[in-house]
Amino acid sequence: MTDETKPHEDHPETHLTGGGVADSPEARVQQYANQLKELQMQIETRNDELATAEAQRDEANMQLGAMENRLAAERMLAAAGAVDVESASLLLHQRVNFSEDLPPEQLERAVERLLQDKPFLQADPTPPGTMPTLTSSPRSGQLSEAGHLSQA
C-alpha cells in the first residue's frame, strides 16, 4: 500500500472519496448545513399543511354544528305542529344563529317564542272535516233566555 492510498491515520476526520479526493471537514459541515436547511423547509411546509388542514377541520365542524342545530330546530318545529317547517326554520334562523353552540333548552325556547309570535305557522288544532264547537256563544245565551220567556 502506498502513502496515497492508505487511510490518513493522523487525520481521522478526512476520508477518501471514490475519486481519491479527501472530503474536508468544512465540506461535510456545509453538506450537513444544507441538509438541515432542507429539512427545516420541509418542516415548515408540513406545518403550513397542518395549519390548513386544521382550519378546514374547524370549518367543517362549524358547518356540521350548524346543520345539527338546524335539523334539531326542524324536528322541534315539526313536533310542535308547524305547517311549513322550512319557512318556520328560516324565520327561526333570523332569531337564532345556528352556527353558534346552542343548548337544546335555548333552541326549544326560541321555537316556542316563534310559534307564539307567529301562530299562523302552526296547524289548526281542529282536525280536518270537523266543525269547531261553540262553547260559549252570545247567541246561545239569548236563545236560552228566549226559551225561558216563552215558557212564562
β partners of residue 16: 22
Residue at grid coordinates 317564542? 113
For every one of its 152 residues, what pLDDT tens digit does the chain have, with 9 covering 90 and above? 555 545 444 544 444 444 445 579 999 999 999 999 999 999 999 999 999 999 999 999 999 999 999 999 999 999 999 999 999 999 999 999 999 888 999 999 999 999 999 999 998 766 566 655 555 555 555 445 545 555 55
83 — phi, psi (to 5°)? -70, -50
CA–CA distance, 101 with 72 (Å, rounded to integer): 12
* Closest C-alpha among 131, 107, 135, 112 to residue 122: 112
Provide the whole-model pTM.
0.55
